[in-house]
Amino acid sequence: MEYTQLGRTGLKVSRIILGTLNFGDQTTEADGHTIMDAAHADGINVFDTANVYGFGENKGRGEKIIGRWFAKGGGRREKTVLATKGYINMAPDNKPWPNDEKLSALNIRQSVEASLKRLQTDHIDLYQFHHVDRLTPWEEVWQAMDVLVQQGKVLYVGSSNHAGWHIAKANERAARRSSLGLVSEQCIYNLAERRAEMDVIPAAQDYGVGVIPWSPLHGGLLGGAIRKEQSGSARRTATGRSKDGLANGKVREQVQSYEDLLDKHGLEPGEVALAWLLSRPGITGPVVGPRTLDQLASAVRAVELKLSDELLASLDEIFPGPGPTPEAFAW
C-alpha cells in the first residue's frame, strides 16, 4: 500500500480509502467485519462512513457495525483513521425535529456525540460536513468545531459535496479564528464525471485540501458494466447511475470504447478507473465500497497499476474533461 499526507496535514493516509456505505444494507455485519480486517491486512488505514449510513429505519447502523468491530480490540481502533459525516437528518421517517439536521452548532454537537456513541470511540479523526448548509454562517460552524477539537472529540475537519468557492470561504473564515479549517473535500469525481476539475480540485489544491473522490466507478459504470451486462453477471448495472448511463446512447458508446480499449491492453476496467484517479493531481485517494474480498483485492491492485502516457491520452479522448475555470468557458 502507498501512503500520502491528507492535504496540508501531517496525517498519513492510504491511497485507497475503505468506504462502508454498504455496511448494514448490501453487506452483512459479519462480512463487513471481515472486509475491515482484510483492509487492515492490505495496509488500508482510512475507513469512511456517515451517521446516516444504513438508511431508512436503519440509519446509524453503518457506524454501529464499525463500533462493534472496534470493540473486538486487537488495535483495530488505533490502526484506523476514522472518518464520518454529519448533516443529514437521522429521523427514520425523514421528518426531523427542527434542529436535527444541517450544520447549526446545536446539530453539530448532537451529531458528533451520537456518532461517538455508535462508533464506540472517544474521538473522530476526520469529521466531514456531508453537504453545504446555506443558512448557517461559517463563523457558527467553526465555533462549534473549535470546541469539539479542543475537547479532543474531533481531530480534523473536512467537507463533502462543496463547491470550490465554499472551500475558499470556509477556510478564509477559519483562518480568521486561527483554526486549521478544512483539510479534505470528498466529492464525486471519476472518468465519466469530471466537472470537479473546473473549480473544486483547483480550489482544494490552492488551500491544501486533500481531495477524496466518491463513486470512483460512477455507480459501476466504469467497472465493466457492458461486459457484465452481456455475461448476465450485472448487479449494480441493473439500477441507479449505471443503468441510467447505459440507457443513454452517447454514454453507452463511451463505455463501450472504454472497455474495448482496456481489452486491447488486457486491463480490468475497475482497476484502471481507480488508477486513473490516483494519477490525477491533488487526489488523496478514492473511496471504494467493496461488497466482497475480491472487490477489495482489485482496489488494492489498482494502487500498483501505473498507466502509460499513451493510455492516459486515450482515456482523455474517450472521457474528455471540462478543463479548469475560467478557461473552460472563456478565452
Dist CA 14 CA 135 (whole Å):
35
Cell of 124: 473522530
* DSSP structural state of residue 306: -
Dist CA 258 CA 269 (whole Å):
8
Check 53, 127, 156, 207 and give the catalytic one. Answer: 53
| Bridge partners, residue 4, by sequence | 13
- Cell numbers 482510512 label which residue? 46
Cell of 188: 464525486
* Cα R_g (the chain), whole angstroms: 20
Dist CA 293 CA 301 (whole Å):
12
DSSP E strands, the chain: 3-5, 12-14, 17-19, 46-48, 81-86, 124-129, 154-160, 182-188, 210-214, 287-288
* DSSP structural state of residue 56: G
Dist CA 242 CA 251 (whole Å):
10
Confirm whether 53 is a catalytic residue.
yes
Dist CA 158 CA 167 (whole Å):
10
- The residues carrying an active-site annotation are 53
